[in-house]
Amino acid sequence: MKKEKKRFFDVITIFPNIIDSYSSESILGRAQKKNIILIKSHNLRDFTKDKHKTVDDTPYGGGPGMLMKVEPFDLAVKKVKKRLKKTRIIMTAASGKKFTQKDARRLSKYDQIIFLSGRYEGIDYRVQENIADEVFSVGDYVLTGGELPALTMIDAISRMVPGVLGSKESLKAESHTEEGVMEYPQYTKPEVYKKWKVPDVLLSGHHKKIEEWRKKKQNKK
Ligand SMILES: C[S@@+](CC[C@H](N)C(=O)[O-])C[C@H]1O[C@@H](n2cnc3c(N)ncnc32)[C@H](O)[C@@H]1O
């Protein structure tokens, strides 16, 4: 089997622990131990120049809240970006384009992806205009920060990287593998719980009938 190149995910954030905690567990943790991917957090405050490590300031033109400054992101990206063939810088924003499974598949081919996590009222627009290659939203709602969106995207992208999931089969029947098609209903033991029964066909051992039932039950958009 051809040896896969390692994928690097870097997250620039003022809350690196959020990234480290999630990414060290379960499938992502194991994939890192197997050296297939590496997920690294970088504290944005390490790229400030004043003694208070200021990352935010008031918006020009007035308005509520604080905005994250452009310079720390610029310096952080310069430091973190590796000299690899395919790199991508992704900014998280509720106003970005909606992240989909198609994006996850496409981005799984990149050597390094750097995620920029906002907080407060968001990030100075010059980051979007001059630093980010793409701006993604994970849904039509506003979260308090870009860490969960970055982790959401890293998780979805990593599953597409060969070797991260135990078996190729687990990807095959999954929701969204084929655009607009959701997974069929699945059941496990016991056969009856309270009065809730597993459909007879799944207990029949008749593979062709099971396949037909599953096809019928797949939820198509
Ligand atoms: C409180 S939000 C800022 C919301 C911004 N004022 C607006 O109205 O769009 C702070 C940060 O959380 C992240 N964020 C919030 N919702 C998000 C979403 N749906 N998708 C991606 N990132 C999001 C972004 O990094 C954003 O800079």
Per-residue pLDDT of the chain (221 residues; tens, 9 = 90+): 677 899 999 999 999 999 999 999 999 999 999 999 999 999 999 999 999 999 999 999 999 999 999 999 999 999 999 999 999 999 999 999 999 999 999 999 999 999 999 999 999 999 999 999 999 999 999 999 999 999 999 999 999 999 999 875 577 778 888 888 999 999 999 999 999 999 999 999 999 999 999 999 998 76
Taken in order of first residue, the domains within the chain and their CATH numbers are 7-159 (3.40.1280.10), 173-217 (1.10.1270.20)
Mutate to test the pocket of ligand 1, among 142, 151, 152 (most ligand atoms within 8 A of CB): 142
| Residue nearest ligand 1's atom 15 by CA | 143
3-state percent breakdown (helix, strand, coil) of the chain, nearest 5: 35, 20, 45
CA of 113 to the centre of ligand 1 (A): 19
**For residue 171, what pLDDT is reported?**
74
CA of 79 to the centre of ligand 1 (A): 24
**For residue 179, what pLDDT is reported?**
84
Tell me which DSSP letter residue 212 carries.
H
CA of 49 to the centre of ligand 1 (A): 25
- Is the Cβ atom of 16 under 6 angstroms away from ligand 1? no
- Is the Cβ atom of 151 under 6 angstroms away from ligand 1? no
CA-144 nearest atom, ligand 1: 1
**For residue 219, what pLDDT is reported?**
83
Radius of gyration (C-alpha) of the chain in whole angstroms? 21
Burial class (CB in 10 A: 0-12, 13-18, 19+), 105: middle
Residues 6+ apart with CB under 8 A from 113: 7, 8, 9, 10, 87, 88, 89, 90, 107, 154, 157
CA of 182 to the centre of ligand 1 (A): 28
**For residue 21, what pLDDT is reported?**
98
Residue 163 tokens, joined: 């070797």
- Is the Cβ atom of 167 under 6 angstroms away from ligand 1? no
- Is the Cβ atom of 153 under 6 angstroms away from ligand 1? no
**For residue 169, what pLDDT is reported?**
52
**For residue 178, what pLDDT is reported?**
85
- Is the Cβ atom of 59 under 6 angstroms away from ligand 1? no
Gap between the Cα atoms of 32 and 139, Å rounded: 27
CA of 147 to the centre of ligand 1 (A): 10
**For residue 45, what pLDDT is reported?**
98
CA of 91 to the centre of ligand 1 (A): 10
Of 141, 40, 129, the residue nearest 81 (C-alpha)? 40
**How big is the chain, counted in residues?**
221
